[in-house]
Amino acid sequence: MPYLILILVLILLVFGPQWWAHYTFRRYAKPVPRIPGSGAELARHLLDRLEMQSVGVEKTEAGNDHYDPQSRTVRLSPQNHDQNSLTAVAVAAHEVGHAIQHQRGEALLNLRTRLVYFAAAAQKFGAAALVIMPIAAVLTRAPSAGLLLLVAGVGSMFLATLVHLVTLPVELDASFNKALPILRTGYVSAEDEPVVRKILRAAAFTYLAGSLASLLNLWRWIAILRR
């Protein structure tokens, strides 16, 4: 029974934030007639208003809303790109918030960009190390070699998760120091602001949700290697 409770708690910790973020986005994704334009139109308008005409706005696959600092592009999923919902407006403003961070050369965004690339490289290295580990142990006939690769693999994947966690302040800044003040200047009503706050919080915690979910992949690797 205690093990079952522990498993349920771990599942809640890993999937809870991700479920909550997706639930929040879906809940407020219905078109709202009082919102005059789509998420893409709002993003384009805000970028032009802020004299960032060089930043593009593109449609991307579902669930992959982001700002790409390399190509200087705000990318919105189809629903947020095309619809005039509260989710579309809030997510578009959040991604424009990252564009503002980039335009201003803010250190937090620069740090996050470097860390995310580092995290991606670390995850690839970790996965490769875990695949190579049993082969190296057999070829070298040295258990220590396999153990070293195991530690390196697990450590790099865990480190990649931590890297994503430390980017949370960047996301919160984009939501509440950039997007929300802009949206308050006539883009959302006082009636809609509490909902917009929820969506902006969900947008900020998307990286956290993904990082916690990645821990499950790490656990799966460990479970496989223990067999």
Give the amino acid at 38: S
List 95, 106, 191, 193, catalytic entry:
95
**215 to 51, 119, 122, 208: CA distances (angstroms):** 40, 13, 14, 11
| 95 part of the active site | yes
**Which amino acids are annotated catalytic?**
95
